[in-house]
Structures are given as C-alpha cells and as structure tokens.
Amino acid sequence: MPDAPPDPFNPAPVPLDPLPPVGDLIGRVGLALALGFVVALVYRLTLRRENGAGGLPTTLVLLTALISLVTLVIGNSTARAFGLVGALSIVRFRTVVEDTRDTAFVIFAVVVGMAAGAGYLVVAAVGIPGVALGAAVMRYFDRPAGPPVHALTVRVGPGEDPTAALTPVFARLKLSPRLTGVGTAKQGTAVEYVYAVPVADPVAMAALVAEVHRVEGVQGVELRD
C-alpha cells in the first residue's frame, strides 16, 4: 500500500540534533567567555585612540559568549540557521562605529565565539595570537607622524575675514594651521572659519583659545578633536 501524502497542515516534527553533554556545553560557553576577555584585552592593549575604548570591550566579551550559544543552537540544522538569521536581523546597532578597526574586532569576536561553540578550539588558538600580532604591528606603524590635529572654529561677523588678524597669533604660538572650511552660523548673522591646527599640549590649546578670543571682531572660539 503506497504511503499517504504528507499533510501540509500537520507536518511531521523535525528531529532535533543531539546536543553535547551538559558538561561539554558549560565548558564551551565558559571557554568562549574566557576567549572573549582575551579578545577584549587584545583590543585594549592595541588601542591607539586617546579618548579610551568606550564600551566596546564589554561588547566583545558578551558577543563572543552569545555567538557560541548561537552556534550550539544551530548545530547542523540549516533550517535553524536561516531562522536565527531572520530573528537576529531585527537587531540594529544604534551607535555609529567611528573606527573601522572596531568593526574588525567585532568580527573577530564573532569568529572566536563560533569556533568555541562548534568545538574548533584550534581555530581560536591559532587565530587569537595571529590577530593580536597583526594588531600590535599595525598599532606601531599606524601611529600619527606628528601632533594630533584639532579643529579650531572661529566665529566672526558677516563680511569679516579673521585670517589676517589670526596670522600673528599663530606665529607667536608657533602653529601652522590650515583653513578647512567656511560656513554661516546663527541664521546667517555670523560666519564660522574652521582651521586644522596641529597641537598636542593642553596648555598650548588653552593659550590658543585665549589668544584667538582676544582678537578684535571674534565672537566665539571652539577647539575640538
């Protein structure tokens, strides 16, 4: 007797893949968490920004552990893989990643978490030192050649050009600024001139703002990274 056709309204249950023993699961997630701390440590030690790492190291640790859990849940099931992709697609980062290096470390955490969750410890053992070495080497070669460049915004009245008046100030402070932009402000009642100024000393930064503010015709001064 031929088999009855499948009922589309009562599909047969999909068998679940056998999970590793509970001890193995705990070991994999714990290892992923430990490796997440290593990834965060590599990121922090090779950081070249002066304003700190923000909350990304914490994100790297949690992301590594979470990806290991996702890998364990997916197992060998293609259906669960597509289902998790659809479910996780609703997640959006609300913080703009300013440095592409941060994106690389996020991917690094994802790969390490997948390796720990799937049990491919050799991948993590080889990948972490390799990425750490690459990040350390590039941190050395990627250092700025001179002092950091800050944006000096000088606000003056319409029709006024502060360049001539600011030249003696820049010469006195031994600075070599470069005009990078001009725009209106306060609904057209003022004009803002933006200069790129290489200055690293906080004392020199304060002196620059004070000197520029004393120039006749200057309505406001702002110095930013």
Helices (H) and strands (E) in the chain, counts: 7, 4
CA 108 – CA 53 distance, rounded (Å): 16
149-224 fold: Alpha-Beta Plaits (3.30.70)
Determine the pLDDT at residue 1.
47
In the chain, list all ranges with CATH 3.30.70.260.
149-224
- Determine contact, residues 168/116, Cβ cutoff 8 Å: no
- pLDDT of 37 reads 92
Please state, in angstroms and rounded to a whole number, the distance separating the CA atoms of residues 65 and 113.
Answer: 6
Per residue, the 3-state secondary structure of the chain, as one string, reads CCCCCCCCCCCCCCCCCCCCCHHHHHHHHHHHHHHHHHHHHHHHHCCCCCCCCCCHHHHHHHHHHHHHHHHHHHCCCHHHHHHHHHHHCCCCCCCCCCCHHHHHHHHHHHHHHHHHHHCCHHHHHHHHHHHHHHHHHHHHHCCCCCCCEEEEEEEECCCCCCHHHHHHHHHHCCCCCEEEEEEEECCCCEEEEEEEEECCCHHHHHHHHHHHHCCCCEEEEEEEC
Model pLDDT, residue 18: 63
Residue pLDDT tens, the chain, 225 long: 455 565 555 555 555 556 667 788 788 888 889 999 999 899 888 876 655 666 788 888 888 888 888 888 777 777 767 766 665 665 555 556 666 778 888 888 888 888 888 888 888 888 888 888 888 888 777 665 566 778 888 898 887 878 888 888 888 888 888 888 888 888 778 888 888 888 777 788 888 888 888 888 888 888 887
